[in-house]
């Protein structure tokens, strides 16, 4: 199988720490062909490090590299919509980092533009690919929990002021949002992927320490359409270091918790009806990643490549990636109004992405 040629739009933190090492050498099915960033120093630094052409204009890059198969959009969240719509005209498949966008209207435009351009839109939700999370999903689908009545997410991470000061867009409503739209967005995706569609949310938020427009700490009470309850606790104000990123599921016939600091460690795995291999789960699903990004990006990008090459459906394409943004907007709308918000009313935040 020939390697797929990737081009990057955006050479910041997530590109340098995760995507570039994977595409350049971590995946035998991929090759980095070119990179672009509006900041010339970032583009030049990545281009020289990986010995590929670099650009400050994505249109010039695309014109110069017709061999590109996939464009990874790794820019600020608030710019995802414009970037993807502009790039879809080239007919190249697109990978976009989470969240798919900040505005629901932008997400809809992105999906429509890729459909019109004959390309596929893949949204990065790598925590779905963590082995413990996959194991949890498998148990839910096999109904091993019986009647699920409570799901809980805790994101207790540390982001000091220098993290937010690193780039002027961090923590702004127009380009980033707060802990719910960024750091905990994977966990909002996970709780709905595991628990099923959410009926309503009631949320509160504060700024504990961060001097930013958006929130650094919040809680959400959820009701699911199936009658279960949920709770989300998210903060970037944990001190002195990252503490946990966890998801627990309680049912009438079983209990499980995925913990660690990146949903990477199965901490509890108990069922009334034991199955072969249950005794080995806690040992087999306990690999610690070096950072909160976890190991999921490798499995995620491998699936994207396989989906493109073999015409298969991927786990998180455009419409699926939009679901977590819908939940994020409901959370922010509840914070803004101080009321319970029903998702069936299609709530839209008055601040996020504006």
* Residue pLDDT, tens place only, 209-218: 999 999 999 9
Asked whether 196 and 165 are in contact (CB, 8 A), the reply is no
Mean pLDDT value across residues 288-295: 53
Mean pLDDT value across residues 68-86: 98
Longest dimension (CA), the chain: 60
Task: Quote the pLDDT of residue 133.
Answer: 95
Task: Quote the pLDDT of residue 289.
Answer: 53
Mean pLDDT value across residues 114-123: 98
Answer whether residue 294 shows pLDDT above 60.
no
Percent of the chain with pLDDT over 70: 97
Least confident of 283-287, 289-293, 341-345: 289-293
- 288: pLDDT confidence band, cut at 50, 70 and 90? low
Taking the alpha carbons of 169, 175, 178, 184 in that order, is the dihedral positive or negative? negative
* Residue pLDDT, tens place only, 303-320: 999 999 999 999 999 999
Distance CA 303, CA 305 (A): 5
Asked whether 29 and 52 are in contact (CB, 8 A), the reply is no
Sort strands 121-123 and 341-342 into parallel, antiparallel or unpaired.
unpaired
Sort strands 198-206 and 93-96 into parallel, antiparallel or unpaired.
unpaired
- CA atoms within 13 Å, Cβ hemisphere of 188: 30
Asked whether 323 and 178 are in contact (CB, 8 A), the reply is no
Asked whether 147 and 252 are in contact (CB, 8 A), the reply is yes
Q: Which residues contact 279 (CB under 8 A, 6 or more apart)?
A: none
Answer whether residue 1 shows pLDDT above 90.
no
β-sheet bridge partners, residue 161: none
- 262: pLDDT confidence band, cut at 50, 70 and 90? confident
């Amino acid at each position: 199988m020939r390697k797929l040629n990737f081009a990057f739009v955006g050479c910041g933190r997530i590109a340098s720490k995760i995507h570039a090492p994977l595409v350049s050498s971590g995946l035998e099915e991929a090759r980095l062909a070119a990179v672009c960033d509006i900041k010339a120093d970032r583009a030049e630094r990545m281009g020289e490090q990986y010995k590929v052409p670099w650009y400050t204009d994505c249109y010039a890059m695309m014109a110069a590299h017709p061999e590109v198969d996939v464009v990874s959009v790794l820019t600020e969240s608030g710019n995802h919509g414009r970037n993807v719509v502009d790039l879809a005209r080239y007919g190249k498949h697109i990978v976009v980092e989470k969240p798919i966008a900040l505005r629901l209207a932008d997400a809809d435009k992105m999906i429509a533009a890729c459909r019109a351009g004959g390309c596929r839109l893949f949204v990065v939700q790598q925590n779905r690919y963590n082995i413990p999370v996959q194991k949890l999903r498998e148990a839910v689908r096999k109904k091993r929990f019986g009647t699920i009545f409570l799901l809980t997410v805790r994101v207790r991470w540390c982001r000091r002021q220098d993290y937010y000061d690193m780039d002027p867009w961090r923590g702004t409503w127009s380009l980033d949002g707060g802990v719910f739209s960024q750091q905990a967005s994977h966990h909002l995706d996970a709780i709905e992927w595991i628990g099923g569609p959410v009926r309503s949310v009631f949320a509160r938020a504060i700024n504990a320490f961060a001097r930013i427009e958006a929130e650094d700490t919040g809680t959400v009470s959820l009701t699911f359409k199936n009658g279960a309850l949920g709770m989300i606790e998210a903060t970037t104000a944990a001190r002195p270091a990252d503490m946990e990123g966890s998801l627990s599921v309680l049912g009438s016939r079983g209990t499980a918790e995925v913990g660690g600091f990146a949903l990477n460690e199965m901490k509890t795995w108990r069922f009334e009806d034991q199955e072969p291999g249950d005794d080995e789960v806690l040992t087999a699903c306990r690999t610690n990643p070096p950072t909160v990004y976890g190991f999921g990006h490798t499995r995620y990008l491998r699936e994207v490549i396989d989906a493109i090459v073999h015409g298969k459906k991927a786990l998180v394409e455009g419409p699926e990636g939009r679901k977590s943004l819908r939940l994020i907007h409901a959370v922010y709308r509840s914070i803004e109004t101080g009321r319970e918000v029903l998702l069936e009313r299609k709530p839209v935040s008055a601040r996020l992405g504006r």
